[in-house]
Amino acid sequence: MSEITAPIETRPEEPSHTAGRWIRDNLFSSVSNTIQTVVFSAIVLGLLRWILGQVFSEDADWSSVATNLRLLMSYNYPTEQFVRIWVAAAAIFLMLGLSLGAWGIDPGFSVRRSARTLISTGVFALVVRLLLPSSTPDAIAMAMIVIGVVAIVIGGVVMRAVPKSSDRRVSFTAALGVMVGLVLAVVWLVPFGSYGVAEGERYAVPGVTVASSTKVPWTIVLLLVFFAQILGRRLGVSVGSVIRRSIVAFWVIGPAFIIFLVLRDPSFDWAHVWSTDVPMAAAFALGGGALLYALGRPGRDDLARVVGALLLALALFHWVAAFFGWYPMLQKARISFLLIALAVLLVPTFAGERSARVRFAGAWVGFMVVLHWLITGINTPSTLEISAPPFLGGLVLTVGIAYYVMLVSFPLGVLLSLARTSKMPIFRVMSTTYIEVIRGVPLITVLFFFSIMLPLFLPRGMGISDLAAVFAGYTVFSAAYMAENIRGGLQSVRRGQYEAADALGLTTVQRTTLIVLPQALRVSIPNLVGQAIATFKETSLIAIVGGFDLLRIANSTIPNQPDFLGQKRPGLLFISLVYFVVAYTMSKSSQRLEARLQAGQAR
């Protein structure tokens, strides 16, 4: 691993030139080059001036953003319950730090390159200071000068201290430490001015730092990232594969736990949980696991098929009984019966020696536990008091929707792409039609269709919340694109792989899950990350169909507040920055990931 994480940057350091020589070569080498320099410099300076004019224009009231930061991040979450949001954030940041460490992420910051970046940042800050419009507050103009001078001085000192040929690198832990330290310094020292709501009145105290209720949690969370990264690095060396698998498991199901943590009131009916939910889950998980383990012994294929068929008949009978109302039964019991029947029918495919059976039975147990827990969670009512419903909103909604859409549409996309590349004509035609129709229409029509038509399609008496309908539509839309991305990977798997799998006597399911898909998914990872970025950006469309996401809050909630009537530009510029930071980070890390994958493929 370590030689792969070593710098991908293979371009040799440019031969050392004086600054004058560099300027002549890169800016004024020929007439056309000089013209380009002049034209583009004019464009750059003009644009920068224009953007600064927009940011610091006289009628832009940035306190509209500062006051509403909490609204933008988590919408109407009750203040007294806010500790839950912090716990959730701490969990996510903890796992983020662990992941960074466990996979040994290290972009490899070269000391000289970092110093050069520092110097150019300083120059940029000074240029910005020169172009600031006259309406800018003095503090910001002063800060620009300070930042510029300090950055140039530090960068220059480092450049002098480190010899030109040196390829010394800053360790990632140190870089992370510096970043955490800088953010903490900003949170604790910079006087943003304090804004908030006390007893229904909005107050603003200029010139003080962030409130303690915010900066203390931020300090804890950021320190967690830092130390978790160190811990993850240690664990990644000692128990690498275990810790990495656990982290992946967390990222897949963890967010569901977090939603539970954030939405559910802890004071629900524990008696029902202990008397019914837990025993039922245990029975299905353990009984089913034992059954699968026993039937998976080699030579019991036909027995497994018979048992599976009987169980399937029993499960279907439960649904028929439910339809006619012969006897009561919990819906999740019916679902579990159906699932265990299907699992038993799959046994011959995954049967084999002990470790294979243990794995299959173990997967079943894990699946049952998560499923039952989720169903229980959904059935337990939330008793949080919300002042203005919908209380899911802001950045939380944006990120949450994007995450779950990707998570749910992934298996759908795999199925669709398999169907599209399969040799079975009806499946192929159905899947192709679906994919092409969905890809042919804009997302907004799909979202409208689901939010308006889904309630009409449902039988009377059944309802669906707006957000759920939109989520369903977005998933349906995303699955089509996902299918196309995965199809690209499937087509890159060579014919010989299929033939080799057939020659080994693998069944179609085994060939697909064990040979073809792992290779295909590996190839399509860069495209999938690209789609994740697109999904994240396009969650902004939820604002049009009625969700209170970042855009909706910045574009209509804040400008309608009596204190900030019509203040759209600061909010919109702020959320542009938020979107940019998240999407840019994702795309940069995806480029790095791509390079790593290519390095891994090279022989």
Partner 1 sequence: MTDNPNAASVIQLGGRPPIWRNAAVLKWTVQFAVLIAVLGVFWFLIAEARTNLSAKGIPVGYDWLDDPANFQLAEGIQTVDSPERRLTMSRALWVGMVNTLRIAALGIIFATIIGVIVGISRLSKNYVARRFSSVYVETLRNIPVLVQIILWLAILGSLGKLTADTGPIPGWIIISQKGISLPRVFLADGFYQFVSLLIVLSIGIRFISRSWRRRQEREGGDQRVGLKTFGLFVVAVVVSWIANPVMGFLGPIFDAISDGWGAIPQGLMQTLLSVVAIGAAVAWIKRFLNSRRTPAGMAKLIDDDWFRMVFAGVASLIGVWVLWRGWPGLSSWMVNSGSDFWGVLGDKFGDGRGAMPFDAMRPTLSEGRFVNYGDTGLTLTVFYAALFLGLVFYTSSFIAEIVRGGILAVPAGQSEAAAALGLNRSQALRKVVLPQAFRVIMPPLGNQYLNITKNTSLGIAVGFSEIVQVGQTVYNKNSQTLAVFSIYMIFYLACSLTISLVVNSVNRRLAIVER
CB 136 → partner 1: shortest distance, Å?
Answer: 18
- Choose one: 52-60, 150-158, 171-179, 403-411; the region binding partner 1 (CB under 8 A): 52-60
544 binds partner 1 (CB under 8 A): yes
Q: Which CB atom, from 445 or from 560, has the smaller least distance to partner 1?
A: 445
Restricting to residues 415-474, name those near partner 1 by CB under 8 A. Answer: 424-427, 430, 437, 439-445, 448-449, 452-453, 456-460
CB 182 to partner 1: min, Å: 22
Residues 6+ apart with CB under 8 A from 63: 193, 195, 204, 564
Distances (CA, A) of 67 to 193, 339, 461: 9, 50, 42
Binding residue for partner 1, selected from 6, 44, 123, 204, defined by CB under 8 A: 44
CB of 38 to partner 1, least distance (A): 9
229 within 8 A of 98, measured Cβ to Cβ: yes
Q: Cite the beta strand spans of 543-593 per DSSP E.
A: none
Q: Residue 345: exposed, middle, or buried by beta-carbon count in 10 A (0-12, 13-18, 19+)?
A: middle
Q: Are 6 and 105 in contact (CB under 8 A)?
A: no
CA atoms within 13 A on the CB side of 177: 7
Tell me how many residues contact partner 1 (CB under 8 A). 59
Out of 7, 40, 83, 598, point to the residue binding partner 1 (CB under 8 A): 40
Q: How far is the CB of 378 from partner 1 (least distance, A)?
A: 23
Distance of CA 548 to the CA centre of its chain: 19
- Closer Cβ to partner 1, 392 or 551, answer by number: 551
Where does residue 225 rank: exposed (0-12), middle (13-18), buried (19+ CB within 10 A)? buried
Question: Which of 379, 513, 555, 561 is close enough to bind partner 1 by CB under 8 A?
Answer: 555
When the beta carbons of 108 and 530 are compared against partner 1, the nearer one is 530
Nearer to partner 1, 320 or 456 (CB): 456
Rounded Cα distance between 248 and 251, Å, is 5
Place of tokens 């804890």: 220
Q: For 77, list phi and psi in degrees, rounded to 5.
A: -70, 135
Q: Comparing C-alpha atoms, which of 247, 161, 192, 169 is closest to residue 65?
A: 192
Residues 186-245 that bind partner 1 (CB under 8 A): none
Cα–Cα distance measured from residue 584 to residue 580, given in angstroms and rounded to the nearest whole number: 6
Residue of the chain from 54, 135, 275, 465 that contacts partner 1 (CB under 8 A): 54
* Euclidean distance between CA atoms 251 and 282, whole angstroms: 24
| 216, 321, 369, 572: which one binds partner 1 (CB under 8 A) | 572
C-beta of residue 591 within 8 angstroms of C-beta of residue 81: no
CB of 448 to partner 1, least distance (A): 7
Query: Omega before 12 cis (within 30°)?
Result: no
Residue 184 or 572: which CB sits closer to partner 1?
572
Kindly tell me which residue out of 5, 8, 37, 121 binds partner 1, with binding defined by CB under 8 A. 37
Tell me how far, at minimum, the Cβ of 480 lies from partner 1, in Å. Answer: 13
Structure tokens that stand for 199 in this block: 């007893």
Residue 195: in which H helix or E strand, if any?
strand 194-198
Closer CB to partner 1, 61 or 231, in the complex: 61
Judged by CB, which is closer to partner 1: 57, or 383?
57
Asked if 328 interacts with partner 1 (CB under 8 A), we say: no
Q: According to the binding rule CB under 8 A, does residue 540 interact with partner 1?
A: yes
Alpha-carbon distance 498 to 600, whole Å?
A: 22
Phi-psi bin for 199: left (phi > 0), alpha (psi -120 to 50), beta? left
Of the candidates 135, 171, 560, 576, which one interacts with partner 1 according to CB under 8 A?
A: 576
User: Segment 82-141, which members bind partner 1 (CB under 8 A)?
Assistant: none
Among residues 340, 401, 520, 543, the one that binds partner 1 under rule CB under 8 A? 543
The token pair that represents 245 in the structure block: 């698998």
Contact status: 302 vs partner 1 (CB under 8 A): yes
Q: Which is nearer to partner 1, 295 or 551 (CB)?
A: 551
DSSP 545: T
Cα–Cα distance measured from residue 322 to residue 181, given in angstroms and rounded to the nearest whole number: 60
Binding to partner 1, residues 491-520 (CB under 8 A): 505
Separation between Cα atoms, residue 553 and residue 366, nearest integer Å: 39
The residue within the footprint of partner 1, chosen from 7, 9, 26, 191 (CB under 8 A), is 26
Among 213-221, 334-342, 362-370, 576-584, which window interacts with partner 1 (CB under 8 A)?
576-584
Q: Would you count residue 591 as binding partner 1 (CB under 8 A)?
A: no
Provide the minimum distance between the beta carbon of 582 and partner 1 in the complex, in angstroms, as a whole number.
8
- Map residue 550 onto helix, strand or coil: helix
When binding is defined by CB under 8 A, the residue of 587, 593, 595, 597 that contacts partner 1 is 587
Q: Enumerate binding residues for partner 1 (CB under 8 A).
A: 26-27, 29, 33, 36-37, 40-41, 43-44, 54, 57, 59, 299, 301-302, 424-427, 430, 437, 439-445, 448-449, 452-453, 456-460, 505, 533, 537-538, 540-541, 543-544, 551, 555, 568-569, 572-573, 575-576, 579-580, 583-584, 587
